[in-house]
Amino acid sequence: MKTLLQPLLLGLFALSLAACKNSPKEAEILTDTNDSVTHDDIVKNVYTDNNGEKIEVSINHTQNTAVVHLDGKTYDLQKSDGFPDYTASNAEYQYSNIRGNITFLKKNYDMVLFSYKENGKDKSATKMASY
């Protein structure tokens, strides 16, 4: 019995030493593998018209949407295909940026809520002759 007990105790002792010599567990690193996170191509601009009114426009080119902030209200619009340059609209409102001419209007009433014309260097002035 003595001969069995000694190797058994030696074996347990060796196992306990081997268990203690292993390096401590490394800290777990959690990574977010959420594929729903995307990087959208968003362009934000603020325009001020001649009357001092400001409109803030955020265009998301990835989702083809535009968000317009005017007079404390927010309007969510969807890009409209088939119109020139950038035009976005919903059932009631339409935003357009055609060669630097910004227009935001209420469609049912054809009422312009905001209008801005960009003064660019590339714009050529049209001269009219007077007789």
Assign 124 a pLDDT band (cuts: 50, 70, 90): very low
Domain span at residue 77?
Answer: 42-117
Residue 127 lies in a domain: no
* Alpha helical stretches, state H, the chain: 2-21
> Is the model more confident about 14 or about 91?
91
Which phi and psi angles does 38 have, rounded to 5°?
-125, 160
pTM: 0.60
Q: How many structural domains does the chain have?
A: 1
Q: How far apart are CA 70 and CA 48, in angstroms?
A: 11
Average pLDDT over residues 28-53: 76
The rounded distance, in Å, linking the Cα atoms of 43 and 78 is 15
3-state secondary structure at position 25: coil
Whether 81 is covered by a domain: the verdict is yes
69-110 pLDDT, tens digit per residue, is 999 999 999 998 877 688 999 999 999 998 889 999 998 888
